[in-house]
Amino acid sequence: MHKLAIIIDDDPISILVCETLLKKTNFAETVKSFKSGGEGLTFLKSRFEAVGSLPDIIFLDVYMPVMSGWEFLEAYEQLENLPEKRPHVMMLSAAFDPADRQKAEDSVLVTDFISKPITTEILVGMMAEKS
């Protein structure tokens, strides 16, 4: 079980589904959600400054207004004084775009690319890989 998972997604239904499944599968002790990349970055900076740690995993929507998932990753990569071991980023997308999948595979910050909606099977598989 992860200690902390965060969800960054502009769609309230996607957030609700993801939160519900993360709790139902005991995937993480604590789940926090943010409706924008900017909110997520602010949380990561303040958490690291206050506690000295980051979440274990980030579920990040690719397509969001104002700051896309890709723009979030660029800004996240630029944060200073963060530990070498950064959280695993799982990119989420409702649209299947091979270019996005390839971009995720090329990113050192991204662990996986998941088509929405996230499912219990996906989370159980991720937990099995972790152990």
**Per-residue pLDDT tens for 73-127?**
999 888 877 776 677 899 999 887 888 888 888 888 899 999 888 999 999 988 8
Model pTM score: 0.91
d(CA 16, CA 38): 20
Q: Are 91 and 114 in contact (CB under 8 A)?
A: yes
Encode the chain in three state secondary structure: CEEEEEEECCCHHHHHHHHHHHHHCCCEEEEEEECCHHHHHHHHHHHHHHHCCCCCEEEEECCCCCCCHHHHHHHHHHCCCCCCCCCEEEEEECCCCHHHHHHHHHCCCEEEEEECCCCHHHHHHHHHHHC
Strands of 110-115's sheet in order across? 28-34, 2-8, 57-61, 88-93, 110-115
**Per-residue pLDDT tens for 28-87?**
999 999 999 999 999 998 988 888 888 999 999 999 999 999 999 999 888 877 776 677
pLDDT of residue 79: 80
Residue 129 has pLDDT above 70, yes or no: yes
- For residues 5-24, average pLDDT: 95
Q: Residue 131: which pLDDT band, with cuts at 50, 70 and 90?
A: low
